[in-house]
Structure 1
Amino acid sequence: MDDSAAIEVNVSSARAQLPTYIELASEGQYVYLTHRGKRVAALVAADVAEHWEAEEDAHWARRVAEAEESGTVSWEAAIVALERDR
């Protein structure tokens, strides 16, 4: 769903009608909560949030694997290199 189909509602209004906005989000609508005109949070369907959580987990797992492949440097060696480069 693109941003043009999203709903923006201020936090106070959302609080008063939260079940309505939760239902809209569960049906696939993006509901942005605003405070003083700025987006501060979003309600999205749980499967959307779970998808992005899995994407983030996969991203960090790849970063860890890349770091492990490049090897490590001992703390002492890192200090020596930092001191040398001053």
Structure 2
Amino acid sequence: MDYTCLLCNQLEAVTESCPNCGEIMENLGLLQDFYDPYSPYLDQEIYQDNYLQNDDDHCVHLLACGKCGYEKFSAYRRQWEKTTIV
């Protein structure tokens, strides 16, 4: 079974509002991408450390408000991807 993150693959957009000002927050990317300069190029499994549900079933994204600068980490459940062989 393959799972995919809808945010990582841009199949879904962030619709969460900023708790400070109400603006729609922006997805800045995966939490792992901010660990070190090489982390975006490494396998995600290296960084599965249970930080805010960072595991096989979730992707943790950094969300930020462009208006007031508020930032937060949010875990998004990966969806099952049906693959067919033709």
Q: 1 or 2, which has the higher strand percentage? A: 2
Q: TM-score, normalized by length of structure 2?
A: 0.22
Where relative contact order (Cα < 8 A, 6+ residues apart) is larger, the structure is: 2
Q: 1 or 2, which has the higher helix percentage? A: 1
Q: TM-score, normalized by length of structure 1?
A: 0.22
Which protein is bigger by CA-based radius of gyration? 1
